[in-house]
Amino acid sequence: MTPAQRRLIEEIRSQGGDKDGPNGGAEYWPVVNDWVHDAGRVKSLALRNINATVAVVIREGYVTLDDDGLFHLTDKAR
């Protein structure tokens, strides 16, 4: 797992993505905006980096993204 992927998972966790039930989940855009907030010079690549990193953590089974746009950490990421 790359440092960027770890930071994304930590951001999801910090915004409630590790909680189950009706109040569980972390909203997509607030998470990714906070994740790239201090990206510095690479900020111009933010959308590309977001898409790639999110795709990997979903494909690898660390995170799910539901139809309401909420991230949920899987047991693998907890």
Q: Specify the CATH number for the domain of residue 48.
A: 1.10.10
* Overall number of domains in the chain: 1
pLDDT at 78 over 90: no
Reported pTM: 0.86
Give the pLDDT band (50/70/90) at residue 67: very high
Range of the domain at 58: 3-77
* pLDDT tens figures, 6-51: 989 999 999 999 998 888 999 999 998 877 776 666 666 677 888 9
What is the chain written as a DSSP string?
--HHHHHHHHHHHHTTTT--STT--EEHHHHHHHHHTT-GGGGGGHHHHHHHHHHHHHHTTSEEE-TTSEEEE-GGG-
